[in-house]
Amino acid sequence: MYLEIVSPEATLFAHEVDSVIVPGVDGEFQLLNNHAAIVSLLGQGFVKIKTKSQLTVDDLHTEVVPSNNDKKLLTLKINSGTIEMKDNKVIILAD
C-alpha cells in the first residue's frame, strides 16, 4: 500500500509501505494492505511506519526518524491529524 504523510509545510513521507500504526483518538490502530476504507481523526502520538525496504536518509524528511533496531521501522511524532485509506492508498494530514 502507498502511504503519504502531509503537513501544512511539506510532504513528510511518500512511499510504499507494509503497514502503518497511528494514534487514534481512542487508541492506536494499524492499517495493512487491503484494509477497508476508513476516515478517522488522529490524536497526539507517534505514527509508526513499517517500510517494504530500508530507505536511505536522503529519502526521508528530517522529522521521520528511523529505528535503531529495525531499519525498516520509521516513526513520526504528530500532535493531531486525520487519516483516510481507500484503494490501498493512505493519506495522513498531520499537524
Digit-coded pLDDT (tens) for 6-55: 999 989 999 999 999 999 999 999 999 999 999 999 999 999 999 887 76
- CATH classification (class only), 2-94: mainly beta
Residue whose grid cell is 510504499:
16
Specify the pTM: 0.86
Residue 62 has pLDDT above 70, yes or no: no
Res 18: pLDDT: 95
What are the φ and ψ backbone dihedral angles of 25, each rounded to 5 degrees? -65, -20
* C-beta of residue 76 within 8 angstroms of C-beta of residue 94: yes
DSSP readout, 61-93?
-TT-EE-SS-TTEEEEEES-EEEEEETTEEEEE
> Where do the structural domains in the chain lie, given as residue ranges?
2-94
* C-beta of residue 82 within 8 angstroms of C-beta of residue 39: yes
